[in-house]
Structure 1
């Protein structure tokens, strides 16, 4: 999918990434810090993370098509290079969202009987929360950097800075 109603698909798909990655990062962090939140979010947490993960390669593929159809520009190349780095962050969000969801859905009594490490075990929760926070911050910062470089590539020399 490269064009939607005559518009480059990248221009439309980028909005999905810009909304879902930070939203997933926020939900993951909240769920990792507070298991009650993870239980309330339920399957929605890994579900949204999965859609966010899928949206990244779709958007980058459409962006690479667009790059081939615009003038050669170092700002566009920089934006493309940065965009290629988002997939590992999105994958990390999905994997951690699945872990948080899976751990939160098990009741403490059920986990204790089966011999599986309880989700309420403090060291496990601290590690998962720290990893979730680190990946969430990394993903959001990367989305910001990619978006900023894309805006610079799209808008440099495209308007009158003097307002006249």
Structure 2
């Protein structure tokens, strides 16, 4: 399922979705967290991205593991395989932080849906906003590190 489609690695086909959806989730979640007056306008986008980002990140991670297994079985060794190991570690971390951001975003959206002015009690609103903002920053950082390490593994020079 995560290996190939029409002879092409699934990883090469789906990784771009994660590269788009994770930063979009981080941005929309951050705006939702700090701009209560915009919540009614962007809540639907936050929910959709909170579903799409972790799903695409999971598929990219799983398909990357299948591609790794295929490369290793073909006899790849040395520095190239080490770069892919590093990339894989970043990919796993990206998935975990993206999943956490998605959960925190969904919690915030569903809790604010229950209020008429889309605000929670001050302490809860601030706490959730801080959690969402922190997870957004970390998710953005790790999606960048994952993408950069993958690009370096494929296109970088081997030394």
Structure 1 contact 93–136 (Cα < 8 Å) conserved: yes
> What residue in structure 2 maps to residue 129 of structure 1?
129
Say if 2:23 and 2:140, in contact at 8 Å, map to a contact too. yes
Residue number in structure 2 paired with 1:46: 47
Pairing partner for 1:91 from 82, 96, 99:
99
Task: Find the counterpart in structure 2 of residue 55 from structure 1.
Answer: 56
| Cα distance in structure 1, aligned partners of 2:88 and 2:115 | 44
**TM-score (norm. length: structure 2):** 0.86
User: Structure 1: how far apart are the matches of 2:67 and 2:57?
Assistant: 15
Q: For the aligned residues, what is the CA RMSD?
A: 1.8
Aligned partners of 1:35 and 1:104 also within 8 Å: no
Distance 2:157 2:126 in 1: 48
2:111 is equivalent to residue 103 of structure 1: yes
Any stretches of 5+ residues in structure 2 without a counterpart? none
The answer to whether 1:79 aligns with 2:87 is yes
Contact residue 61 and residue 95 of structure 2 kept, 8 A: no
The reply on whether 1:145 has 2:145 as its aligned counterpart is: yes
Matched, 1:69 2:70: yes
Partner of 2:33: 32
Alignment match, 2:12: 11
TM-score by length of 1: 0.83
Q: For this pair of structures, how many residues does the alignment match?
A: 150
Bigger radius of gyration: 1
**Unpaired segments ≥5 residues, structure 1:** 110-117, 159-164
